[in-house]
Amino acid sequence: MPKEAYPMVLVIMASAAAVLFLVRGPRQIGRKMVRLMGLVFPLLVFPLWGIGVYRACFILPAVILALLEAVRLSDRRDRSMLDRLLSPIAKEGEGRGFFGFSTYFWGAALASLAPGGAGPAVTAMATLCDPWASMIGTAWGGHGSSLGKTWVGSLTCLLVSSMTGLSFSILFPRAGVSLLQTLLASVAMTAAERYSSGEFDNLSIQVVGAAVITLSSMGSL
């Protein structure tokens, strides 16, 4: 294993350990583990097959999920196929709005449209920082805001997104994402996570992160 991969591997191992030690219940553990599997796209699909295949891996499922969500929300009399598919990993009460699984794919699909490796970078960051914010905020955050967010969770989000972004830029220097850009994106993503509802933070943090990297690239940061 190349030494450039060490920081990312350590972040992933720490994330998996945190899920096992901090999360309670098979449903929530399964949900977090499925989330970690999302790293396959920015860390394997993108470097092996390029941005075109990477985009297809998110855009096609995002369109399908949008159609399934529309069908589900238009007819609530019976459990839809999407309800049955995602119920084993859904949060309690999540079915009243959009599933987090769907908003994650929508955010990743939109972020993938950014130039170069901006989309994969922010999706890797979002895949790890949002679960960390939830886990630490729930364990030690105390009273949350009206959106259910805690300052401890937000600080954790900033730390993990920064570490993941820096690890990504070190691992994939040809992706065109600098260390400074990942730091700027992590600040913006933390703010988006802090002030977005739980239903849409999976989407907002990725879109905001990709926008910041794209805009900062215009200034050659």
pLDDT, tens digit, 9 for 90 and up, residues 96-141: 789 999 999 999 999 999 999 999 999 999 999 999 999 998 888 7
* Cα 104 to chain centroid, rounded: 6
Residue-number span of the structural domain to which 147 is assigned: 3-217
| Mean pLDDT in residue range 61-80 | 85
Number of separate domains in the chain: 1
pTM: predicted TM-score of the whole model, two decimal places: 0.93
